[in-house]
Copies of this chain bind each other. A is one copy, B any other.
Amino acid sequence: QAEQIDWNSYSVSTDLALEAHQIFSPEHGGAIPGVKTSSEELDGITVTRLVIEDAVGSKIMGKMEGNYLTFEVPGLRYKDPDLQKRVAEKLAEELKRFVSLPEQATVLVIGLGNRKVTPDSLGPLVCDNLFVTRHLFDHMPELVEQGGYRPVAAVAPGVLGITGVETSEIVHGIVKKIKPDLVIAVDALAARSLERVNTTIQVADVGISPGAGVGNKRKGLNKKTLGVPVVAIGVPTVVDAVTISSDAMDLIVQRLEQDVPGNGMTKLFSSFDEGEKKQLIFELLQPLGQNLMVTPKEVDTFVEDLAVVLANGLNVALHDAIKMEDASLFTH
């Protein structure tokens, strides 16, 4: 069945725009046309604003046009409650600016991913920790009438393999019924680099791309498909096994090149093309192929911590009445 292999899935890939920029900008002298970036760092949190302004930038980056906000926090790799709190705070602050919503606008949060596969459970776990209020406005108005709350709904629609229904179909159905002003889709992502796993948060106003995320999310969720703006929030929790394999091969080839200078070697390696490499990776990862992920053994604590950080950030950003010092009282 070799003729049915999707060779594209044996390419190195990333769900992070910032990584795509790091990969492709060198070929363009450090600046990709149609793409703007700016960064600032404060106390261990680097925030980068990246804008893909046109089709040219989009094509080079392999990402949709729009605004990407990235938080890089290497310290999240170590259990550091104080840092987690500051990240949630910064996230809330930036989110409020990123998404300007009228006070009473309704927000639907979608927790993408498979609750039963730890590194893919980020989205459902964030939903578990949100302060959901949409129903209170009708059924318990006394809890929200003092102001400072907006209607928030949160649904974790499950995954195709378990429901038999495309996630996008379920989300589309719900959006049509409850007509939110904004959809926020939270998802676990795949990074290019292990360093980014559990340390990077991406917020984007472009929605979810088809095929992105840890599991097999086949169809995209965006303004075009859903009819309302879609903000995507993601954290890479895995690297594809294809990526690790490719990196391993590059690394040893590079080392061999260093060790054996000379024209012969250069020729040898340059003759080895991308297609051959994909073929090798395919052989290596058979029979499980492109469906393999690389993830830390302690992925449970990382994902739980990150879910709380995201939920705290969202709770504070969405409800004026929730202050960061009390945010964690709303999560459990």
Chain A residues packing against B (C-beta within 8 Å): 77-79, 81-82, 84-85, 108, 114, 116-118, 120, 127-128, 132-136, 139, 143, 151-158, 160-166, 169-170, 172-178, 194-195, 197, 214-216, 241, 244-249, 251-253, 255-256, 259-260, 264, 268, 271-272, 276-277, 280-281, 283-288, 291-301, 304-305, 307-308, 325-326, 328-332
Nearest neighbor of A241 in chain B, beta-carbon distance:
B294
Report the Cα distance A136→B314, complex, angstroms: 32
- Could you say which residues of chain B place their CB within 8 Å of the CB of A178? 165, 169, 173
Minimal beta-carbon separation of A140 from chain B (angstroms): 9
- Could you say which residues of chain B place their CB within 8 Å of the CB of A331? 328, 332
With A132-B162, A304-B332 given, name 15 new contacts (CB 8 A).
Answer: A81-B326, A117-B297, A117-B299, A135-B164, A155-B158, A172-B173, A176-B176, A194-B285, A216-B297, A252-B253, A259-B272, A260-B264, A293-B294, A328-B329, A331-B332
Q: What copy number does this chain have within its complex?
A: 4
- Could you say which residues of chain B place their CB within 8 Å of the CB of A301? 161
B118 lies within 8 A of A117 (CB) = yes
Report the Cα distance A299→B215, complex, angstroms: 11
B294 lies within 8 A of A292 (CB) = yes
Best-buried of A153, A277, A297 by chain B (most CB within 10 Å): A297
A251 lies within 8 A of B283 (CB) = yes
Minimal beta-carbon separation of A12 from chain B (angstroms): 12
- Could you say which residues of chain B place their CB within 8 Å of the CB of A161? 132, 135, 298, 301
Minimal beta-carbon separation of A311 from chain B (angstroms): 10
Closest 9 CB pairs of A and B: A173-B173, A81-B329, A328-B328, A134-B164, A153-B164, A248-B248, A116-B300, A132-B164, A245-B248
- Could you say which residues of chain B place their CB within 8 Å of the CB of A153? 163-165
B295 lies within 8 A of A293 (CB) = yes
Nearest neighbor of A280 in chain B, beta-carbon distance:
B251
Best-buried of A117, A153, A215, A272 by chain B (most CB within 10 Å): A117
Knowing A164-B134, A280-B251 touch, does A287 contact B194 (C-beta < 8 A)?
yes
B164 lies within 8 A of A174 (CB) = no
Report the Cα distance A248→B284, complex, angstroms: 7
